[in-house]
Structure 1
Amino acid sequence: MTNLTNTGKELLESPALKSAVHKATFRLMPMLVILYVVAFLDRTNVGFAEAALEADKGISAGAYALGAGIFFIGYAIFEIPSNLMLKKVGAKIWLARIAITWGIVSACFAFVQGEQSFIALRFLLGVTEAGLFPGIIMYLAEWFPNKHRVKMFAIFYLAQPFSQLIGSPMSGGLINIGDKIPGVHGWQVMFFIEGLLAVIAGIAAFFLLINGPAKAKFLSQEEKEALTAAMAQEDTLRKESGPSGVWAAMSSGKVWYFTVIYFCLQIAVYGVTFYLPQQVAQLTGQKVGFTVGLLAAVPWFFGIFACYFIGKYASTVIRRRVLGTWLFVSTGLCIFGSAWAGANGLPVLGIIFITLAVCSFLSIGPIAWSYPTAFLTGTAAAAGIGLINSLGNLGGFVAPILRTSINETFSSASGAMGIYALGVLPFLAALMMWGTRRFKNKADELLDD
């Protein structure tokens, strides 16, 4: 094993491999980022329509919370089947299909008539989008060695802040423009146009994505051989460390361990994201629109830099563990801080805390995904990554319902109590992230600790 590991380290430093990784980054990552930009936008733009849906269609706060969260039920049910289908037909076709169908569903939100149609469409949006995120995670794990993978995950995760940086003012602007068009509401224009963007992105993905390094015409023969050899070497090591097959992956204690970590992370992500426009509006005393959209984009602007540079720095196992632990602690503290600032009428401080929370939880994602992709491969990866993402994403279902329930239980006019409740679980995740020092993966031996 020592000789094999040494050979792997030599291969990772070869000029041909570095050149192949460089080319693959510039060839593939823009399309993957665009796909997730429109996915995250269509997943979260409902936050800009909350008040309007209540006023125009009578959708209550409870129905909104259920609708916002039920997306993740449909997502969870179809996640693993979608991942297995991607493994069968290839990323090129399946990721394109996902984007096109969810774009159509997202555009249909323009025709919501009441609570039932709103909740049904949110569920259907989750069904059609299921498999996109874990499919891309698997796709990156097939293209980029472990040493480079966190950086690639970090670039991919830039889609979230880009989505909100661009999408927040765009969503607010489309609402303002749509309100001036006779016979329609601004939120209808927002949903229709942003859904159409996903359809266009799906069509582009079909022509731009490539199913594996062996079929990459943009690589020279030497680069193709180096990248293929590196991924084959790592695949061998992953098979020694992880489960083999679908059922073994789904019953793996390590897979469930990271499912809990990811659940805690998603509680924080969507607890902030779904209510960010409303929270900014409450902090500043502004109506949700273009101005609030610009202010809501500020945390995501800084999140771009935090996610990229922290992901680039997290190139070793020790760095990933330490950074992941402290970023979870920071997420919890900053969520608490944003609630406290809002309750005490300190808007500037509140936005600063929200910004730091966004920077923290955005930077955790790439680090968290480096762990399961270091020991899962083949159908085990399809099932294990699908399980982690589907059940972990149920945090997005729990977050709005938990927040609303806590606020109603404690009659919290400022909404602070609900936010405090969401800030607890990141501390549990911090303890679990630190506990990953007990896990040893063969693929990690190729990293220089």
Structure 2
Amino acid sequence: MASAAHAGHGGGSSAANPENLESVYRKVTWRLLPFLMFLWILAWIDRVNVGFAKLTMLQDLQFSETVYGLGAGIFFLGYFFFEVPSNMWLERIGARATIARITIGWGIICVLMMFVTQPWQFYTLRFLLGVFEAGFYPGIILYLTYWYPSLRRAKAFGLFMSASALAGVIGGPLAGTIMTQLGGANGWAGWQWVFLLEGIPSVLAGIATIFYLTDKPEKAHWLTSEEKALLIQDIEQDKKALGHREHSVLKALKNPIVWKFIAIYFCIIMANSTLTFFGPSVVREIGFSSPATVGWIMAAIYLGGAAGMILNGIHSDRTSEVRYHCAFAALAGATGLMALGFVLPASAALSLAALALAIVGTMSAIPVFWQMPNHCLAGSAAAVGIALINSVANLAGFGAPYLMGYLKDTTGVMTHGLWLVAAVEALTFVLIVGFVSKVSRQTQQPA
């Protein structure tokens, strides 16, 4: 197991007290990860519920597919402009205050989405949703490095990030049921009820964050003094074992390694955002018109995505291998997208199988990806570098939905968009195999 391997990794307290240290990490995991996963589920639901609202919202408001694609994607422009400052602010004021601010903000914006009537309002609120959520995802990635050494992180990342798949499991049926059961109540459309009822819990969760979250191990009142000492010592030993990593912010921004990771993650995010915002539309294209049915079908597929993220992360930890776990998962996702372009909508069974392969493969690549930059960056450079990678790469999240919407409007089919996105995601394999091994050897050299 990864934990056993790590017990001998740093020596000291790890080797002397492996059972005690294992107990500490179990305590940390049970304290932090369920709550962080819950917040990520709320964030993901509030980010992507527009994909389900689209099933009736576009007709009600007379929005085109292009308007929808631009609105769905403009969220990521807010991400781009505000993510790096948010992560730098996290290091300055702490995770608890930063994550609370983010969560309350995106919850309020989600509720306001119910009042949209014009395209400019749609664009503005989607942009603001990105502004408020900016920093949450890379902030949690950075936050978990405070609590877990390198050989435990892939599993922790996988558990946390699997919440986005669990959000699909929960959010699909929830949005479908709300739209079906509450449509017309109080004079509001079903999609308006979706934004209202899925935004309020985020505001409440943000308030709870202020009282629950702990910034760093030194402040963990729920750990004993001995447990804190074991944890801090193990993490410090891990830092020494990793050797030199870049700490300078400016050097990290100029580091070509960072930009190579941006290119890799851009390819993954282009596929992931396409599947996120157009997955429900794919299911409807096959012939399932009920929002509730679409929600349950997407839930089943995302359940597979959650399993893939967790299992891929666990296996990556156990084998201490990252590159091919990410590369082959992305290649599987690209294969699913390519196949979907060929079989949609002629065969419902093959279309659903291809969609499932695309989602499971793409989502399984994400947790292990973040292990690669974490081996190259540390300190302030990690805060800026991680946010930079996520924010710039997420510009693909802006381009992909807009491109898909435009191509659907102009050609009447999704085929060309799916093939284009599949080709981009396939580049992930080429970039990782061609560049990351050389990067790893380079970063292990002493300064």
Cα pair 1:403 1:421 within 8 Å, conserved: no
Equivalence for 1:439: 439
**Aligned-pair CA distance for 1:416:** 1.2
**Aligned-pair CA distance for 1:375:** 2.4
Q: 1:405-416 maps to which residues of 2 (within 5 A)?
A: 405-408=406-409, 411=411, 413-416=412-415
Q: Go from structure 1 to structure 2 and tell me whether the alpha carbon gap of 1:232 and 1:318 turns closer, same or farther (over 3 Å shift).
A: closer
* Alignment equivalent of 2:168, drawn from 164, 170, 175: 164
**Aligned-pair CA distance for 1:6:** 7.2
Equivalence for 2:392: 391
* Cα displacement string for residues 127-179 of structure 1 (whole angstroms, at most 9, x for unaligned residues): 01100000000000111011100000000011111101000000111111221
Gaps of 5+ in 1: none
**Aligned-pair CA distance for 1:444:** 8.1
Q: Go from structure 1 to structure 2 and tell me whether the alpha carbon gap of 1:199 and 1:443 turns closer, same or farther (over 3 Å shift).
A: farther
Equivalence for 1:374: 375
Cα pair 1:146 1:444 within 8 Å, conserved: no
Equivalence for 2:335: 333
Equivalence for 2:233: 229
Gaps of 5+ in 2: 1-6
Aligned Cα RMSD in Å? Answer: 2.0
Alignment partner of 1:94 is 2:93:
no
Q: 1:226-375 maps to which residues of 2 (within 5 A)?
A: 226-236=230-240, 240-283=243-286, 285-315=287-317, 319-343=321-345, 345-375=346-376
Equivalent-residue separation in structure 2 for 1:187 and 1:371 (angstroms): 39
Equivalence for 1:418: 417
SS in 2 for 1:74: helix
Equivalent-residue separation in structure 1 for 2:109 and 2:441 (angstroms): 41
Equivalent-residue separation in structure 1 for 2:131 and 2:382 (angstroms): 20
Equivalent-residue separation in structure 2 for 1:427 and 1:202 (angstroms): 38
Equivalent-residue separation in structure 2 for 1:111 and 1:404 (angstroms): 23
Equivalence for 2:427: 428
Equivalent-residue separation in structure 2 for 1:12 and 1:260 (angstroms): 36
**Aligned-pair CA distance for 1:274:** 0.2
* Cα displacement string for residues 269-313 of structure 1 (whole angstroms, at most 9, x for unaligned residues): 011110111110111x12241111101111111112221111111
* Cα displacement string for residues 210-244 of structure 1 (whole angstroms, at most 9, x for unaligned residues): 11111112222222111101222333455x53322
Q: If the length of structure 1 is used for normalisation, what is the TM-score?
A: 0.93
Supply the AA of the counterpart residue of 2:416: M
**Aligned-pair CA distance for 1:44:** 0.6
Q: Go from structure 1 to structure 2 and tell me whether the alpha carbon gap of 1:146 and 1:7 turns closer, same or farther (over 3 Å shift).
A: closer
**Aligned-pair CA distance for 1:11:** 4.5
SS in 2 for 1:275: helix
Cα pair 2:376 2:443 within 8 Å, conserved: yes
Cα pair 2:284 2:294 within 8 Å, conserved: yes
Supply the AA of the counterpart residue of 1:270: S
Equivalent-residue separation in structure 2 for 1:437 and 1:318 (angstroms): 14
Moved more, 70-79 or 299-308: 299-308
Supply the AA of the counterpart residue of 1:139: Y
Q: 1:89-238 maps to which residues of 2 (within 5 A)?
A: 89-236=93-240
Equivalent-residue separation in structure 2 for 1:280 and 1:7 (angstroms): 47
SS in 2 for 1:143: coil
Equivalent-residue separation in structure 2 for 1:257 and 1:316 (angstroms): 26
Q: How many residues align?
A: 436
Cα pair 2:84 2:135 within 8 Å, conserved: yes
**Aligned-pair CA distance for 1:321:** 1.6
* Alignment equivalent of 1:37, drawn from 29, 32, 41: 41
Cα pair 2:162 2:309 within 8 Å, conserved: yes
* Cα displacement string for residues 79-117 of structure 1 (whole angstroms, at most 9, x for unaligned residues): 000001111010011101100011001110011121010
Cα pair 2:165 2:305 within 8 Å, conserved: yes
Equivalence for 2:401: 400
Equivalent-residue separation in structure 2 for 1:143 and 1:419 (angstroms): 39
* Cα displacement string for residues 171-215 of structure 1 (whole angstroms, at most 9, x for unaligned residues): 111111221414111111100110111112212222221111111
Cα pair 1:328 1:427 within 8 Å, conserved: yes
Supply the AA of the counterpart residue of 1:439: V
Q: Go from structure 1 to structure 2 and tell me whether the alpha carbon gap of 1:301 and 1:227 turns closer, same or farther (over 3 Å shift).
A: same
Q: Go from structure 1 to structure 2 and tell me whether the alpha carbon gap of 1:57 and 1:229 turns closer, same or farther (over 3 Å shift).
A: same
* Cα displacement string for residues 308-346 of structure 1 (whole angstroms, at most 9, x for unaligned residues): 111111016763222222111111111111222214x11
Equivalent-residue separation in structure 2 for 1:16 and 1:298 (angstroms): 39
**Aligned-pair CA distance for 1:26:** 0.5
Cα pair 1:37 1:163 within 8 Å, conserved: yes
* Cα displacement string for residues 401-424 of structure 1 (whole angstroms, at most 9, x for unaligned residues): 222334455x2x331111111111
SS in 1 for 2:306: helix
SS in 2 for 1:319: coil
* Alignment equivalent of 1:25, drawn from 29, 54, 69: 29
Q: If the length of structure 2 is used for normalisation, what is the TM-score?
A: 0.93
Over the matched positions of the two proteins, sequence identity in percent amounts to: 34
Q: Go from structure 1 to structure 2 and tell me whether the alpha carbon gap of 1:316 and 1:391 turns closer, same or farther (over 3 Å shift).
A: farther
Supply the AA of the counterpart residue of 1:64: Y
Moved more, 435-444 or 49-58: 435-444
Moved more, 179-188 or 255-264: 179-188
Q: Go from structure 1 to structure 2 and tell me whether the alpha carbon gap of 1:405 and 1:318 turns closer, same or farther (over 3 Å shift).
A: farther
